[in-house]
Copies of this chain bind each other. A is one copy, B any other.
């Protein structure tokens, strides 16, 4: 009986401490940024532009997040590409080494199949180490509803 009460109390404590942590006030004289107290983090990066500057910034942003001292070794990332963003996966474009560096750190590289249909692009035109999803938009939505963060650089 006491055991159950104990377990129940612990569960409630856990749930409420979680809520409390999210409402902690900010002290003006301290570090104001976020503290990473979870064991693992997940993020989807959206890329839908063929602009070289935006593509490079997106790839660099993912690497910066993976290297953030607060997230190092704790972050799972996925790059979801749709629309004009497909440029990043074209064999004729110069992003292969950066993509492989990200993949080596566990980043999922996902291309939207709707985009390929709409733009008449064959999978042969793209790097063979990427993966595909039915729609980039659906992927971003499902991931978020599974608890992943989203960044659109």
| Partner-B contacts on A (CB < 8 A) | 1, 4-5, 7-8, 11-12, 15, 21-23, 26, 31-36, 38, 40-43, 46, 48, 57, 61-62, 64-65, 67-71, 75-76, 78, 82-83, 106, 108, 110, 114, 131-147, 149-153
Contacts and interface: CB of A to CB of B under 8 A. Distances in A.
Contacts of A41: 141-142, 145
Chain A interface, DSSP helix/strand/loop, else mixed: mixed
B34 A139 contact: yes
Copies in the complex: 3
B149 A43 contact: no
A135 B48 contact: no
A32 B110 contact: yes
A69 B134 contact: yes
Contact of A138 (B40, B65, B142, B152): B65
